[in-house]
Structure formats: structure tokens, C-alpha cells
């Protein structure tokens, strides 16, 4: 009696092929999506660092105006009246002049060749705005300075960095 053996062809089935393609796609997409997310987070952290420096600079500008007022024998908050309202203000680091923010404050400009690179006079617009509010406290020789730096962040929306500090009339 003769035996017949079925001749099965060797190869991949459709299911095995689909599983292999799926695994290959996952191996490629996983690291790629992590790389994209890392780039977004790097951009966010760079902007947060810049915003923190701009916020601290806002405090320093107000201190400088206060100190110049003492030197020139003026009231300690002279020239900062626009900052006392609810709208807040922006103070140009080049001139020390305060301007009321009606609605939204203007974008800060950046000029790498300037001695004060972030200002409102010259340079290219950045993505950052800075609003300064000064609130006189019950003690007439103390005021709270609040600086809010805002910027649009891709995929996240508008981000803000807020810093506040109390300043004093140390030469009453």
C-alpha cells in the first residue's frame, strides 16, 4: 500500500504577517512619539526659564524706579501710578517709564545687540507679555509687586508665570 503525504508549503499565514507588521509599527512609533513629546517638553522648559527671568526682571525694574526716586528726592512710587490700577502696567527697562496695560500688555521685544536685550523699544517681538501690578498695603511704607508673564505654548495653551514680592519705602 502506498502512502501519500500531503505537501504543505512553508510560509507565513495572513495572521502571522499582520502580527509582525503590528509589532514593527509599535517598535517604530513608540520611540518616535517619545521623541516628539520630549521636544515639546524641552520647548516648554525653555519658555518657563525665560519667563522666570522676565518676571524677576520686572521686580528689579520696579526696585530700580523706587531707588531712583529716592536719589531724586521724589515719592517712592513716583511714576508708577499706571501700575496701581486693576489693569496693571508694563515698564520699559530702557527708560524706566510705566505705561498702563489697556486690555492686554504689548509683546516684549528682543534685541541681542542691545545692552538690555528684552525691552519694549526695539527688536523683534517675542511670544512673552509681562504685566506688573502694584498694590499698596495697609502700611503706607509697603507695597506688593506682582509680575505675571504670559506666553502661548503649542499643544498646551496659554501658560503664565507669576512672581510677587513686597517692596518697602526704606527712606521715609
Rounded Cα–Cα distance for residues 126 and 153 (Å)? 13
Q: What is the pLDDT of residues 24-45, one digit of tens each?
A: 888 888 888 888 777 777 778 8
Query: Residue length, the chain?
Result: 172
Rounded Cα–Cα distance for residues 126 and 112 (Å)? 12
Rounded Cα–Cα distance for residues 135 and 53 (Å)? 22
Q: What is the DSSP letter of 153?
A: E
Q: What is the pLDDT of residues 84-98, one digit of tens each?
A: 988 899 999 888 899
| 149/171: higher pLDDT | 149
Q: What percent of the chain has pLDDT over 70?
A: 92
Kindly report the three-state secondary structure assignment for every residue of 65-130: HHHHHHHCCCCCCCCCHHHHCCCCEEECCCCCCEEECCCCCCEEEECCCCCCCEECCCCEEEEEEE
Rounded Cα–Cα distance for residues 132 and 59 (Å)? 8
- Residue 151's pLDDT is 96
Give residue 126's pLDDT band: very low, low, confident or very high (50, 70, 90).
Answer: very high
Amino acid at each position: 500500500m502506498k502512502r501519500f503525504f500531503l505537501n504543505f508549503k512553508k510560509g507565513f499565514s495572513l495572521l502571522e504577517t499582520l502580527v509582525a507588521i503590528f509589532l514593527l509599527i509599535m517598535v517604530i512609533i513608540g520611540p518616535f512619539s517619545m521623541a516628539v513629546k520630549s521636544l515639546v517638553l524641552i520647548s516648554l522648559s525653555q519658555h518657563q526659564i525665560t519667563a522666570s527671568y522676565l518676571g524677576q526682571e520686572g521686580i528689579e525694574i520696579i526696585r530700580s524706579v523706587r531707588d531712583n526716586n529716592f536719589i531724586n528726592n521724589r515719592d517712592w512710587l513716583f511714576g508708577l501710578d499706571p501700575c496701581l490700577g486693576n489693569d496693571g502696567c508694563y515698564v520699559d527697562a530702557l527708560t524706566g517709564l510705566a505705561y498702563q496695560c489697556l486690555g492686554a500688555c504689548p509683546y516684549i521685544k528682543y534685541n541681542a545687540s542691545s545692552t538690555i536685550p528684552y525691552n519694549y523699544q526695539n527688536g523683534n517681538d517675542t511670544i512673552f507679555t509681562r504685566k506688573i501690578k502694584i498694590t499698596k498695603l495697609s502700611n503706607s511704607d509697603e507695597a506688593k509687586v506682582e509680575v505675571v508673564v504670559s506666553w502661548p505654548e503649542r499643544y498646551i495653551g496659554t501658560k503664565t508665570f507669576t512672581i510677587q514680592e513686597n517692596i518697602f519705602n526704606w527712606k521715609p
